[in-house]
Amino acid sequence: MSWFSSADESAHYGSSVCILLQHYCRELGWEQAGVLELGSGDASAIADAVRVLPRLRVHSYDISASSVDQARENIAVRGVADRYTVEVGDFFERAHAAGGASPPTVIANPGYLPAPDCDIRMPELWGGPSGHDQVLELLKAGFEHVVTTVPSYSDPVATLETARDLGYRVVNFVAMGLDFGPYSSEPKVHAQIRRLCAEGRGWAGEDEYMVAVALFTRDPEFPGDRATHLLRVLQLQV
């Protein structure tokens, strides 16, 4: 059995979620409503965030029973099982089951590897031909606030255009440069990344790329829109 393993990427995701939730605690209202998560993976990154933020409650759905088992172990080790719960299930089927009681904020680090099909080293990381299919599905799910990863090589321009068309603005983001790892270096994936970059739909260096964790909102009370700044940081000049 295998799980996604990328220490730098996971640490970046977890710490960035922590920073954004902490900074916008009042506006997001997660102390009262909690937060939903699309895909727990092994849960280590967000379990660390829950440990740092003592009033944070997260409920996660993951379609992989083995991932849920591993997630529950990691959550228990960190002593946050009372505030971080994970269950097996399809997020998009289960998240709105409670109707209006569903928290308005969702966090996610969905698969974003671009490839012609899902026949890759770890199919769970496939994000469609452009790498952003899962992010777009999440944005279309209708949550008020979405905190999610936006990588530089997975057509971020189209991602932000779709977000804008759906009424979202980029409130803020945390970005970091990462080295290509075993998943993004797989020949089939790497060739698709180079194709997207050649078409002007992404950016990647010789052996590096950028990943931002961005807070999207449809709430008009949040000031500003940093979408243009985000694209510049991802090396997509606009």
CA distance 189 to 36: 29
Distance CA 4, CA 136 (A): 21
Q: Is residue 224 part of a domain?
A: yes
- The answer, yes or no, to whether residue 198 has pLDDT greater than 70, is yes
pLDDT at 84: 98
- Rounded Cα distance between 195 and 203, Å, is 10
Residue 211 forms part of a structural domain = yes
Give CA–CA dist 104/55, Å, rounded: 16
Average confidence score pLDDT of the chain: 93
Give the mean model confidence (pLDDT) for residues 71-80. 96
pLDDT band at 2 (very low <50, low <70, confident <90, very high): very low
Q: Give the range among 26-30, 72-76, 90-94, 166-170 with minimum mean pLDDT.
A: 90-94
pLDDT of 180 over the 80 cut: yes
pLDDT-wise least confident of 53-67, 89-103, 184-198, 212-226: 89-103
Q: Would residue 238 count as lying in a domain? A: no
pLDDT tens digits, one per residue of 7-39: 788 899 999 999 999 999 999 999 999 999 999
pTM beyond cutoff 0.85 = yes
Structural domain includes residue 35: yes
**Any domain includes 69:** yes
Residue 4: pLDDT band (50, 70, 90) is: very low
Sheet order of strands, 58-62 included: 84-88, 58-62, 35-38, 105-108, 145-151, 208-217, 169-179
Say if residue 1's pLDDT is above 50: no
pLDDT at 3: 44
Q: How confident is the model at residue 50 (pLDDT cuts 50, 70, 90)?
A: very high
Q: Is 120 a member of any domain?
A: yes
Which CATH number fits the domain that encloses residue 170?
A: 3.40.50.150
Decide if 45 contacts 11 (C-beta within 8 A): yes
pLDDT tens, residue by residue, 79-118 = 999 999 999 999 988 776 655 567 899 999 999 999 999 9
The total of structural domains in the chain comes to 1
pLDDT at 192 over 90: yes
Residue 237: inside a domain, yes or no?
A: no
Quote the pLDDT of residue 165. 98
Query: Residue 2 falls within a domain, yes or no?
Result: no
User: Can you give the residue range of the structural domain that contains 186?
Assistant: 7-232
Secondary structure class of 210 (helix, strand, coil): strand
